[in-house]
Amino acid sequence: MNKVLSVWKPENISSYDIIRKIKSINKSYKIGHCGTLDPFAEGIVVICIGNYTKKINVYMECDKTYIATIKLGYETDTLDYTGKIIKISSNQPLLDKKCIINVINKYIGHTMQIPPYFSAKKINGIKMYDFARKDIFIKPKPFKIKIHYIDLIKYSKDLITLKINCAKGTYIRSLARDIAYDLKTFGHLTKLHRTSIGQFNKTNSLSMKELESCISIN
């Protein structure tokens, strides 16, 4: 079978669980993914099967859209709610719409970003999360990212929800951390939905149940 599949990954499973599901149905398939999504997040994962694995890089270059909710007040080692608290703010800033928009506008266009300690970014050929899991935290050099737009969806005294469209290589967890710093506090992600990758969105993506039916038929 030669296909490109867009799958809507639910929370609390890994992107590799999707590949394992396909392999469990037919081990002969050559399979590759076009970028992982953190287990705590839900949303689109693009899977290439058969001859389409040669086009993985094409799909990895596609822009991505996210809906992200940032909780202010403390930071975790993973920069999401699954991690250990490592920093707690001594005061809670008073937020208003203008203040938040001024901050998020700073990140539109090309900026430099430091990836999370728990990420697949490599240092000397070793993924950063392999170091972090051994309590070795190495701060890498920042690298260039590009964000096309950030829209403020809603906010409260300690929660901010944003819609973000960005190019390959952007870490939304790092963006949440940096936005919180600019708001004079700490922060981490409590929710993350990847709503599009290029032409793929929730409407034209398969659920895990639909994926099993699709693969079984083929």
- pLDDT tens digit sequence for 78-130: 999 999 999 999 888 889 999 999 999 999 999 999 888 766 666 667 676 66
pLDDT at 217 over 60: no
**Length of the chain counted residue by residue:** 218
Cα separation of 151 and 118, whole Å?
26
| Active site residue ranges | 38
- Give residue 136's pLDDT: 62
Set out the domains of the chain in order of their start, with CATH numbers: 3-61+198-217 (3.30.2350.10), 64-196 (3.30.2350.10)
Of residues 16 and 110, more confidence is placed in 110
Express each pLDDT in 118-172 by its tens digit. Answer: 666 666 676 766 656 767 667 778 899 999 999 999 999 899 999 999 999 999 9
Q: What is the pLDDT of residue 46?
A: 95
Q: What percent of the chain has pLDDT over 90?
A: 62
pLDDT of residue 114: 87
